[in-house]
Amino acid sequence: MKFGIFSYAILFVLIPFISTETSNLNCYVCNSNVDEGCDGDSVPDVYKVECSARTNPYCRKIIQTVDEQKSVVRTCGSKVGSKSCYKTPGKNNAQVCSCDFDFCNQATSLNRQERIMTMMSSIIILTITMLIIR
């Protein structure tokens, strides 16, 4: 009986993390060249935007360096690439990170797959601990 209740508790916790619904995504949208506070780790609420409905929506944060001048661009998009983050080579370069949960382009944070793996690892450790204690 205890294991059955525990199974339902696990499902209740996991369902929000594995949802694949295509509702609109909320992201920060700004450019540090023209928008004050866009380049910090705590982005002002004024840059919060509900991205229009698209296939596979995502948020993106781009840190680019052009002629040794750094700027940050945060935006909405669709069809995220195979990597959550990548960096372009060369003197004028960009670090591009994409994610698919609300306001995830504020600062460096976990993408959905990393969050699921963290949650699953925690549940496995908790389950093993509970079985050992029994």
For residue 48, give every residue at least 6 positions away whose Cβ sits within 8 Å of its Cβ, in sequence order, or none. 26, 27, 28, 103
pLDDT at 8: 54
Q: Which residue has the tokens 């995830």?
A: 104
Token readout for 60 is 């993106």
pLDDT at 73: 96
Average confidence (pLDDT) over 10-31: 67
pLDDT at 53: 67
Domains of the chain: 2-133 (2.10.60.10)
Of the candidates 42, 35, 45, the one whose C-alpha atom is nearest the C-alpha of residue 108 is 42
Total-model pTM: 0.63
Who wins on pLDDT, 78 or 34?
A: 34
pLDDT at 68: 86
Token readout for 15 is 């369902």
Of the candidates 52, 53, 50, 74, the one whose C-alpha atom is nearest the C-alpha of residue 63 is 74
Dist CA 76 CA 128 (whole Å): 40
pLDDT at 77: 86
Tens of pLDDT, residue by residue over 71-122, are 999 999 887 667 788 899 888 899 999 888 899 998 754 455 666 778 888 8
Strands 48-50 and 30-31: unpaired
